[in-house]
Structure 1
Amino acid sequence: MKRRTAREKAFQVLFQIDINDIEPNEAMELALEQDVEDAYLTSIVHGVVQHRQAIDQKITDNLENWKLSRLAYAEKALLRIATYELFFSDEQIPQGVAINEAVEIAHLYGDDKSGKFINGVLSKMIK
């Protein structure tokens, strides 16, 4: 699976976890059409779940005039994935790649302003 696809699937899994309050493995089974194991997808999902408190704090610290609880599930999931990739992943993901991927996926799944919002929050984190 390509990394972009893994990120999109991770987005879907994390979205399911938030919406349905289910375990990561169950959410991965629901999100994957067939039995495909992907190490990068698994590392993102479990990494975000494992570091969720620190990730959410980092996001909260960089929000202006917003509260994490008010964010749409899509934006929250994408911010969590990118924040994990930027600060918690064992992989060396270039900052620009992590941010760009989150923005591109936001254009697919979010509203018209999602990409710009996500770019702003993530850009503030890396300054």
Structure 2
Amino acid sequence: MSKILIKMSNRHLSRALTLQSLFMWDFNEEDASYLDFYIDYNLQKFGLKNCDREFIDYLTKSVVGNRVSLDEMINRYTKEWPVDRLTLVDRNILRMAIFEMFNSAEVPTKVALNEGVELAKEYGGSSSQKFVSGVLGTLYEEHFKNKASSDPLDNTQ
């Protein structure tokens, strides 16, 4: 295992595995019934024992269950780049971060934002970090800075 993986926090590592599983699901255009297979595959492939499986299941299945609402929100902040034109990595990072920003009481909004930017830096292309940071930063400014936000997502699981 690389030194980078060893240094990652349990939650960060779990988010990275969630991203990999969402990438596989999105790439293969599968229905949600394949998610457990992708999660199990990635846990075995990368030999990750310090991941939070419950968190991975929750985040992966919540993102897929709320995909339509998440994609609508992404489209509001990426007018020049509709969600179907975004790279698989960028769009799934945005889905994960936005879901956590609006729906996770245990994860502070800024932590969800920063985790999204870190994942983009680690796994995205050369402009991913700046792009993801811009989208999430704008969303944060509009919905969270100086005011409480209502939940715009239908939290189906």
The letter of the residue matching 1:84 is F
Query: Residues of 1 paired with 2:15 and 2:109: CA distance?
Result: 15
Superposition map of 1:59-98 within 5 A: 59-89=74-104, 91-98=105-112
Higher Rg? 2
* Count of aligned pairs: 126
1:115 matched to 2:126? The reply is no
Q: Which runs of 5+ in 2 are unaligned?
A: 1-8, 143-157
Q: Percent identity?
A: 30
Pick from 10, 17, 41: which aligns with 1:9? 17
2:25, 2:38 within 8 Å by CA — same for their partners in 1?
yes
Q: Which runs of 5+ in 1 are unaligned?
A: none
Instruction: Specify the alignment match of 1:49 in structure 2.
Output: 64
| 4+ residue segments displaced more than 2 Å | 34-37
- 1:21 to partner: Cα distance: 2.4
Cα RMSD for the two superposed structures: 1.7
Query: Residues of 2 paired with 1:79 and 1:54: CA distance?
Result: 12
TM-score, with structure 2 as normaliser:
0.74
CA separation of 1:35/1:75 partners in 2, compared to 1, >3 Å: closer, same or farther? closer
The letter of the residue matching 2:58 is S
Instruction: Specify the alignment match of 1:28 in structure 2.
Output: 39
Query: Residues of 1 paired with 2:39 and 2:97: CA distance?
Result: 18
1:60 partner SS: helix
- 1:50 to partner: Cα distance: 1.1
The letter of the residue matching 1:85 is E
2:120, 2:129 within 8 Å by CA — same for their partners in 1?
yes
Query: Residues of 1 paired with 2:28 and 2:43: CA distance?
Result: 16
TM-score, with structure 1 as normaliser:
0.90
- 1:35 to partner: Cα distance: 8.5
